[in-house]
Structure 1
């Protein structure tokens, strides 16, 4: 390529990407896009080496990088098959693709350097990987849940078939009392099967639906859920204390967050000690992370089950003792994971239980272009 210094300068300045020209290992010209990208003025860059635009670790790891290039100058694009980073004036590092093109003019070697900020592309790539991992995890959970559900459905379906035969036989011999009893057992088993199916549908919908975020006041959401349970609270004479100040805000999916609070409150009431008025407390801890806890003084459970109780359809007690589909805590865990939170259980048998949702301070789920609203 043959060009005058003026033409070379025009080539640099007319580029939309960040571009600058190097000769004798010094920056000669930079365009406006370079100033915008790196935060330096042209006056701060011209006359200096490109070292000021590179992170310290790059210079340490590749001390002879420029010398190697000048031995055999050629058109190359760096950053496609390995990470290349640059550094702004502010010290912030960012990923780039770096294009180098030698220009020989009047016996002098110039190098045109073009820099592409690929931060946005890297973020999209990260989100794609994250989404793929989420889908894999969701599929694994659904597969486990479907297996457990099909296994648990066998018992109520077997009862329905057995007692339907008993109904038929009882009617044939005129024993209406036995027929009525068998019909009630079959009906109860059918309701149990329906609960399991409803639980399966609720769980499958939630693990495959991205959260729709909005700003929520934690205390207001707790009060709304407590109000929904007012009749059950009256019947059980449960004492509810909400030690959460107003004005503590989070970004969350309102229906999912309310469903999680409902499950925790429902369990706290359900697993009360026989003949004992349940005492339930909502409280908040702000440091080092925001943590919302629901504590009760119920029957509790052995610490070894602290992880297992979050598995779908995992029950520590018989359905006769404590009815339910067995998906409430699994939905809580799913909600927390999809929001980037954690949920943990702490309990001792006979000494109540405390469930804590930990919300990293200042963090909300990152926007994901794949998560279109459904």
Structure 2
């Protein structure tokens, strides 16, 4: 199936190593990145104990750690406060970061290890230490010269200050590179964990409903067939939404989102977009649209439509049945403001500052399907339209998100 192909592609093309082990610690699956990282081929490592990848000095103790994890499993990062190493096929060791996740199938516990090779990061850290030592050496020399030299102090100080500035600049660049590498590793780990969870549920629904469809063969069972077909359609739509978010984020990060400005009737545009979204409303939900001001603006219709769809989708998703959603648009000579308001679960104050970050979800939204990318994409698209984004929310009372964009985009 297409969806299974996406899941396989995600596993096969992940840049981190992914290893699945069974209850006894034997390796069940490895992805190509893990094979390359440790130098093994698939057939050489499947069925082997996970200790084949543990350096000799840690093997004996690792059995106890593994048994402890299987007794009280939890999703966590390994080795906090200490260095971790993996052993390659050729016997050499590499520094790694490891995150653990788990799930049960047929009462058997399986553990997923997400592994990142941090050799490059360790090289940066060593370079930073060397730079710091060199910086200390230069600083000591400056102090000594200031105490001992009188005639040549100015000339020598200028030379040493230039060297000091270069070393400080180099240290700042190394520090920034290390921070970016750490942030990228964290984002990738969150992405892999989130994607594996978000894909698993709809795919399971598709597989189970498809299997049950084969059992309903009579005309009298048409209602049951229709119910499972609807479940399959809903799951496929959910998967497509997730993939669309991933593709949008990838294009934004690569700078490949082009701006196409045109003139259009904003009121008709809002009405048409809202009408398209009504098919997603829960039982009893309704949308109210209020519009004031001029109708004609110049902006990017595709980006603006994506923004509004994301905001309405969130309002529907995080609101109960029989609740109202309000879309208010106000246009003056310079700015068009669009607000989407719901009366749903709301957002805690401590979570609001992080909501425009990628893959972040509020603590009270963990049981609601989603990628945590919607508001991040809304903010990025609004920035491309040279607009501003504002969020107001209160727990159990609802949320309002307002975007304000120029009526006449500078590119028009």
Computing the radius of gyration from Cα coordinates, the structure with the larger value is 1
Larger helix fraction of residues = 2
TM-score where L is the length of structure 1: 0.45
| TM-score, with structure 2 as normaliser | 0.41
